[in-house]
Amino acid sequence: MYHFKNKIKNKHNWYLIDAQEKILGRLATIIAHYLMGKHKTTYSPHIDGGDYITVINAEKIQVTGNKRKNKIYYSHSGYSGGIKKISFNELITKHPNRVIKHAVKGMLPKNKIGYLILKRLKIYSGNKHKHTAQKHHILNI
């Protein structure tokens, strides 16, 4: 866990988003906006003041154009010839939560706070999630 010198206690709200029939990029920008806390009047880029986001129905996300068959995700193991690629169609069937997480991660800061922010994103395929004890505010997008 990272310790910040000027740690301020912020109240983190919980939001629920249904990803069914939503466009991936447009949804990811809204999620990143709420995770960073830019919707609050107390927003400051060096303070972790964002909220928790729970996304359901991740497997029903939509993309525009020919991205469903042409978009490719690359990863590298670090070894020579260790590049791996997987198409959007394969990734959405095997791991539907990784598609949304990858899109949101690219929109967050690339530092210690960005790592902490990403941990507050909870993504589930299907209607059920295990955060029922928290009182979610439903975001209609």
Going from N- to C-terminal start, the domains of the chain cover 14-68+96-138
**CATH number of the structural domain 14-68+96-138:** 3.90.1180.10
Residue 77 identity: S
Q: What does the mean pLDDT of the chain come to?
A: 92
Q: Is the pLDDT confidence value at 2 over 60?
A: no
Enter the DSSP assignment of 62: B
pLDDT level of residue 141 (50, 70, 90 thresholds): confident
Supply the pLDDT for residue 47: 86
Indicate the pTM of the whole model.
Answer: 0.89
Who has greater pLDDT, 9 or 15?
15
